[in-house]
Amino acid sequence: MTTHTGVTRVLSVVGARPNFMKVAPVARALAARGVEHIVVHTGQHYDPDMSGTFFRDLCLPLPDHNLEVGSASHARQTAEIMVRFEPVCAAAQPDIVLVYGDVNSTVAAALVAVKLGVPVGHVEAGLRSGDRSMPEEINRIVTDHVADSLFAPSRDAVQNLRAEGIPSERVHFVGNVMIDSLVTALPAARALDAPARHGVRKRSYTVVTLHRPANVDNRDTLRELLETLAIMSNGGPVLFPVHPRTKARIEELGLDVSVSRTLRLLDPIPYLEMLSLVAEAELVITDSGGLQEETTWLGVQCVTVRPNTERPITCTVGTNRLAPPRREAIIVAVREARARPAAVPPTVERWDGDAARRIAEVLCDENRFD
């Protein structure tokens, strides 16, 4: 295996919204070490409110390359990223390619780099839901098994990698880079006071995000979810920034979404504004991975509309619970979440704002984090 000790040039590949929060702290940590950092945006997400606003809010410089792949089927999108990334990677000759999370851009870039003989580092390695019907689970497994350096956010992730036979010297328990971004951004987010801007009282409203194919691509499931949110909104405002995928499904299916005055469907919200809303919410209902983690760190109660999660730690510390996309199950989970007294946010090991610094130490100094 190629070694990457003492790197001087790192190339990061990002493409979809949740990648941007993960690369931002790594970019800062590498800059602090004087490491050259090339950022390639695949263009998997391209709408300004799915991409550009995040670069702005996270103080990320514009990417060095944009591959502009856009939306397509999984095969076409993954293949297009590979075809367009290969010459960029070959020309840049980085010491290591870093990929983030579990989106199609992650696995595509990892495959290209490893076949060019460039070492691959996977940031957010080792998460497993055990649910192979989710494209992200396939992306995680493939990426982890071609990566040379695996940066795990939690102990359970380290254990998953061990159970799959990945040599322990490749695995670094660095913590959670998503939480690095949250820690950095929280003062600015709170100063925005997004609840006031949306005309809602702190701790009186629910924030919702739903975009997983299993929840939004089936007409009956999507209708049941919207009806459930409408029922819930009788108990307080429900703010629902709608992902473009979900918006398209609502429009395609001709669903009536004017179900309630207090269920507010909004355009996607920039990072700081979303963080400001989530930090002061009574409850979050989501199928996002990142929000499960953010609510845990903030001590905000969360209901995850999925039968499983690759982030079980969010459930074991008590801020998160799972519910299948059915009205009764969600209402029971919401009742349970609301019944929990507000408490001090839980402490999760190495979710401390220092994960990216640890990654830089692994890359530059060959430090180990077990």
Active site residues: 211
For residue 130, give Cα distances in angstroms to 17, 100, 135. 23, 19, 12
Does residue 245 belong to the site contacting ligand UD1 (CB under 6 A)?
Answer: yes
Does residue 268 belong to the site contacting ligand UD1 (CB under 6 A)?
Answer: no
Does residue 71 belong to the site contacting ligand UD1 (CB under 6 A)?
Answer: yes
Does residue 304 belong to the site contacting ligand UD1 (CB under 6 A)?
Answer: no
Does residue 44 belong to the site contacting ligand UD1 (CB under 6 A)?
Answer: yes
Give whichever of 84 and 172 is closer to ligand UD1, judged by the CB atom.
84
Q: Which of 52, 235, 236, 244 binds ligand UD1 (CB under 6 A)?
A: 244
Q: Which of 10, 13, 14, 16 binds ligand UD1 (CB under 6 A)?
A: 16
Does residue 68 belong to the site contacting ligand UD1 (CB under 6 A)?
Answer: no
Shortest spacing between CB 249 and ligand UD1, in angstroms: 9
Question: CB-based burial of residue 308 (10 Å sphere; 0-12 exposed, 13-18 middle, 19+ buried)?
Answer: middle
Give whichever of 245 and 338 is closer to ligand UD1, judged by the CB atom.
245
Shortest spacing between CB 16 and ligand UD1, in angstroms: 4
Give whichever of 99 and 360 is closer to ligand UD1, judged by the CB atom.
99
Site string for ligand UD1, 77-106 (x = CB under 6 A): -------------------------xxx--
Shortest spacing between CB 215 and ligand UD1, in angstroms: 11
Shortest spacing between CB 17 and ligand UD1, in angstroms: 4
Does residue 146 belong to the site contacting ligand UD1 (CB under 6 A)?
Answer: no
Shortest spacing between CB 288 and ligand UD1, in angstroms: 6
Structural contact between residues 56 and 270, judged by C-beta atoms closer than 8 angstroms: yes
Number of residues that bind ligand UD1 (CB under 6 A): 19
Judged by the rule CB under 6 A, the positions of this chain that interact with ligand UD1 are 16-18, 44-47, 50, 71, 102-104, 135-136, 211, 243-245, 248
